[in-house]
Amino acid sequence: MSLSVRLPANPKEDRPRGPRRPSAALVGGGLGALLAVVAVVHLGLGSSGVGIGDILAYLVGDGTQHTEDVLLGSRLPRTVTGLVVGLAVGVSGVLVQGATRNPLAAPDTLGVNAGAYLAVVFVAYTGLDLGPVPSGAAAFVGGLLAIGVVYLLSSGGVLTPGRVLLGGATVALAATAGAEFLQMLDVEKTRGLFFWGNGTLMQAELDKPLITGAVVLVIACAAPLLARPLDLLALGDETAQAMGVRVERIRPAAFLLAVLLSATAVSLAGPIGFVGLIAPVIVRQLGVRKHVLLMPLAGLLACAVLLGADAAGQVVVPPSAVYASELPVGVVTALIGGPVFMLLARKVSTGDADTGAAVAVAGKRRTPTYALAFGGGLIALGVAMALSLRVGDVSVSWSQLGAALTGSANEVTEAVVDYRIPRILVAALAGACLAVAGAAVQSVVRNPLAEPGLVGVTGGASLGAVTVIVAVPSAPAIALPAAAGVGGVLMLLLVVLIARGSGAGRTGLDPTRVVLVGIGAAATSMSLVNIMVVSSQMNIAASLSWLAGSTYARDYTALGWLVVPAVVAFVLVLAARPMNMLALGEELPRALGLELSRARLLVLGAGAVLAAGTAAAVGAVGFVGLVAPHLARRLVGGNSGRMIPMAAVLGAVLVVASDAIGRTLLAPTEIPVGIVTALVGAPYLVWLLRRTRGAGGI
């Protein structure tokens, strides 16, 4: 059997005709003109009353001293910072996407920005003043460690885009949780860290942007040395190697330069996401493919996008003397980039559509009997609740606790115990509901990584709740959980709708695509939440505590909010049989008489109600819906009738224990329970991904 290919006699005539793309020179000229216009507009924005006309008058030698002071003291440093950071993230995005051949890859989606951010926060927490260049070195070390962990998570087995991106998301969540933990150690700095942690171009002087810009320019000039190897790498590793490319050297070199650029940008302006992702994608859509042109053009576009986003933020929330009114530019870029990420995730090939599970659940192993496991879980919950009653900023001895429970303790002990009991009950019920929510979502998308926070439910719930707080501050108490429930359900439905994608033969849910789209949805919803928090001048410290998940000062009213989620959790236990059938794929459940679409919709809706209702009561507590169901499966198997109650007990134990740790570790300062669960859950997710790297999953 022979295979022949007929070449056209006249290739120009037979070549498919499509829309003519502009030349690289035209694209470059257009982007340069766009950047010039945006930069001028950006220079004219601010709270000092100096407009574009004043700036132009100064440039032609007819300005005032006030204009000069404003321009050199704040406007120019801010614009130069945008140019430096834009160039850095644009070129780094090209390098990462070229090295991975993945349009969803960028320093922020691979955890580099979060690792660099954690390193800079750690240096600041220790009180070291390293200056711009040494701070960039610390950020570089953090970013390098982050991408190293991503490599360890994604190496082995089949290296698919979904595996790499989930590894990056895991590292980003872990590093962000660590940074938030360090921030909570100093409550007085929370306000400033909120702005810098979301990315800001504000600078007090010009020296730091100029020094950092010189470093970025040197690194960016070295990047084109990798242009031709990256062009060949786009053809595949084998083809590139056959054409003389040392893939084992080129890819690490590209990552190294990308980490250097992104770490330098983080040290200057904080972590700014999605700009390094969307700029290369747009330039490629304009017809520029060669990396030697793609790098500078993506840098130009990234500068324009970043300055435009900062300008838009200043228009939406006009700057004033009150620092809290400033809208961080990273919030605006997340609002732009989140939807773009979702649309790209809809089209990317994850390699998991046929396997039906992004992470393989542990195989057959010797497990305890259900009664023994469930009973042990209840005992652990009782012990955790008893210990939680004792510890905190005021310690209670066992004898005092016994006296308080029997009504014979002194007034102080009685008050402490009475204050802690409803809080602990809220933590236990919230943990149980979050665990069941995770089990419900995972059963539909058949992915043990489909935790409610990772698929956008928690973000949607937060968006709904904060909308009520901001728009209708006098709304009745029931409006908060109701809005959170609606927001969570709608966000999950949107994620599933987008994740289904389009194309011939795509009828089911790709489990990894659901998580990737959910990550974009979560980023979008949380950016909207941050915009409302800043624009309405809400108490940022209190808002951050709620968004991080907190049981602080919860009373029996919060228990009332959890009644509906608790009832839904009980209904899911009764619906164990159809939930078990969802794990069988597409055809077999239909053959057994299950209306698959309706069952999926009902179970997903139940999971969203559980997660959203819980978020209304205790805020955004993450990872419980991932860790508890996975541990439950390992203990009692995958039968939903047994796994869901076991997961509920484990989730309750996790949140109660995390709440006790958060109250005790830095007493009297409290660490929000969501940060503690993230510090526990993120390493567990790292272990889970690494343990299953060769299973042919992600």
Q: What is the pLDDT of residue 509?
A: 62
In a domain, 4, yes or no: no
Q: Are 444 and 601 in contact (CB under 8 A)?
A: no
When mean pLDDT is compared over 112-126, 134-148, 200-214, 284-298, the highest value belongs to 284-298
Q: Are 500 and 509 in contact (CB under 8 A)?
A: yes
Q: Are 142 and 117 in contact (CB under 8 A)?
A: yes
d(CA 402, CA 408): 9
In a domain, 356, yes or no: no
Judged by phi (left if over 0) then psi (alpha if -120 to 50, else beta), residue 270 lies in left
Local confidence band at 8 (pLDDT 50, 70, 90 cut-offs): very low
Are residues 385 and 332 part of one domain?
no
Are residues 319 and 415 part of one domain?
no
Pick from 17-31, 248-262, 633-647, 653-667: least confident: 17-31
Q: What is the pLDDT of residue 37?
A: 93
Are residues 457 and 311 part of one domain?
no
pLDDT tens per residue, range 206-235? 888 999 999 999 999 999 999 999 999 888
Pick from 241-250, 311-320, 637-646: least confident: 311-320
Pick from 70-74, 239-243, 291-295, 587-591: least confident: 587-591
Q: Which of 616, 336, 565 is nearest to 440 (CA)?
A: 565
Local confidence band at 551 (pLDDT 50, 70, 90 cut-offs): confident
In a domain, 504, yes or no: yes
Q: What's phi and psi for 455, nearest 5 deg? A: -105, 15
Q: Which of 436, 428, 438, 426 is nearest to 616 (CA)?
A: 426
Domain total in the chain: 2
Task: Check pLDDT > 80 for residue 563.
Answer: yes
CA distances, 533 to each of 372, 458, 581, 586 (Å): 47, 17, 43, 43
Q: What is the pLDDT of residue 134?
A: 62
Region 445-459: what's the mean pLDDT?
Answer: 77
Local confidence band at 89 (pLDDT 50, 70, 90 cut-offs): very high
Q: Which of 358, 372, 357 is nearest to 636 (CA)?
A: 372
In a domain, 652, yes or no: yes
d(CA 473, CA 148): 46
Are residues 410 and 295 part of one domain?
no
Task: Check pLDDT > 90 for residue 407.
Answer: no
Q: Name the residue with higher pLDDT: 288 or 690.
A: 288
In a domain, 213, yes or no: yes
CA 21 to chain CA centroid, nearest Å = 35
Give the position of tokens 């960016």. 220
pLDDT tens per residue, range 566-581? 999 999 888 888 888 8
In a domain, 456, yes or no: yes
In a domain, 228, yes or no: yes
Region 193-204: what's the mean pLDDT?
Answer: 76
Report DSSP state, residue 188: G
**Structural domain boundaries, residue 303:** 23-347
d(CA 694, CA 698): 9
Which two three-digit tokens encode residue 55?
């700036």
Q: Are 568 and 434 in contact (CB under 8 A)?
A: no
Are residues 317 and 174 part of one domain?
yes
Task: Check pLDDT > 50 for residue 6.
Answer: no
CA distances, 62 to each of 56, 292, 415 (Å): 9, 41, 70
pLDDT tens per residue, range 127-165? 666 555 566 788 888 888 888 888 776 665 445 666 677
Report DSSP state, residue 19: P
Are residues 200 and 153 part of one domain?
yes
pLDDT tens per residue, range 584-612? 766 777 777 777 777 877 887 888 888 88
d(CA 512, CA 366): 29
In a domain, 16, yes or no: no
Q: What is the pLDDT of residue 362?
A: 44
Are residues 474 and 327 part of one domain?
no
Are residues 461 and 583 part of one domain?
yes
Cis geometry, peptide bond prior to residue 668 (ω within 30 degrees of 0): yes
Are residues 679 and 541 part of one domain?
yes
Q: What's phi and psi for 132, nearest 5 deg? A: -65, -45
CA distances, 444 to each of 317, 489, 582, 602, 686 (Å): 40, 14, 6, 10, 23
Q: Which of 121, 102, 635 is nearest to 362 (CA)?
A: 635
Q: Which of 434, 587, 455 is nearest to 511 (CA)?
A: 455
d(CA 302, CA 89): 7
Are residues 235 and 111 part of one domain?
yes
Q: What average pLDDT does the structure give for the chain?
A: 80
d(CA 390, CA 696): 47
Judged by phi (left if over 0) then psi (alpha if -120 to 50, else beta), residue 396 lies in beta
Report DSSP state, residue 324: G
Please report, for the domain that includes residue 601, its CATH number. 1.10.3470.10
Task: Check pLDDT > 80 for residue 177.
Answer: no
Are residues 594 and 453 part of one domain?
yes
Are residues 290 and 415 part of one domain?
no
When mean pLDDT is compared over 142-156, 233-247, 507-521, the highest value belongs to 233-247
